[in-house]
């Protein structure tokens, strides 16, 4: 089980650059576009990608590994890729760019698995890939379940303020947002978030 390809994406929507080594730290892949903490690196299985009729890089992945059972590993599993210790978070959602290349039903849960780095170092083509015994909490794949998981683990007040800031609302909206998030966390009828794709 080894690393067969590495890619860096310098800009959103830009071409992938094939590299022999990529450096990383606990903020993500260096010289790559900045990604959210749970989406720092995208790992894909070489054989599964080929079975879908795609080539390395078509899935916009960072790391390609020769490991057929990658997508069977549960969220929270820690893998070692060269020097890197990576906590697997959740499968990557097929977006419009990918669905131009392959049917949704064929690529669902096969586009790659996201992870976050637990240390600093470098990964090179030819490095070994191994599953460790270390485990973290599972993070749900479904967006609504993932939001509930986050709200139950964290501070809803901080989450509300972050959301208000991110979507550009005045700070005075934080209290109303907190009420909405609390209703959502409790599963109130009619309270639902839905996203069709992730940003590239």
**Sign of the alpha-carbon dihedral angle for 173, 165, 117, 5:** positive
Q: Across-strand partners of 64?
A: 5, 44
**Is the pLDDT at 73 greater than 90, yes or no?**
yes
Is 160 or 6 the better-scoring residue by pLDDT? Answer: 6
What is the chain's mean pLDDT, rounded?
85
**Is the pLDDT at 26 greater than 50, yes or no?**
yes
Contact between 6 and 62 under an 8 Å Cβ cutoff? The reply is yes
Domains and CATH numbers, the chain: 3-135 (2.40.33.20), 143-185 (no CATH)
Q: What percent of the chain has pLDDT over 70?
A: 87
Which two structure tokens, joined as six digits, stand for 41? 């690196």
């Amino acid at each position: 089980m080894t690393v067969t390809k590495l890619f860096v994406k310098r800009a959103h929507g830009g071409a992938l650059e094939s590299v022999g080594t990529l450096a990383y730290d606990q903020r993500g892949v260096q010289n790559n576009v900045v990604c959210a903490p749970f989406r720092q690196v995208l790992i894909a299985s070489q054989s599964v990608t080929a079975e879908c009729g795609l080539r390395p890089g078509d899935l916009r992945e960072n790391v390609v590994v020769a490991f057929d059972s990658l997508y069977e590993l549960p969220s929270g599993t820690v893998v070692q890729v060269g020097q890197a210790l990576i906590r697997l978070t959740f499968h990557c959602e097929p977006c419009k760019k990918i669905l131009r290349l392959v049917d949704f039903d064929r690529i669902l849960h096969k586009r790659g698995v996201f992870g976050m780095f637990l240390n600093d170092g470098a990964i090179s083509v030819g490095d070994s890939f191994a599953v460790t015994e270390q485990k973290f909490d599972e993070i749900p794949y479904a967006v609504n379940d993932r939001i509930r998981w986050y709200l139950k683990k964290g501070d809803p007040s901080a989450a509300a303020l972050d959301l208000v800031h991110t979507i550009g609302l005045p700070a005075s909206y934080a209290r109303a947002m907190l009420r909405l998030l609390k209703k959502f966390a409790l599963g109130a009828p009619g309270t639902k978030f839905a996203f069709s794709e992730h940003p590239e």
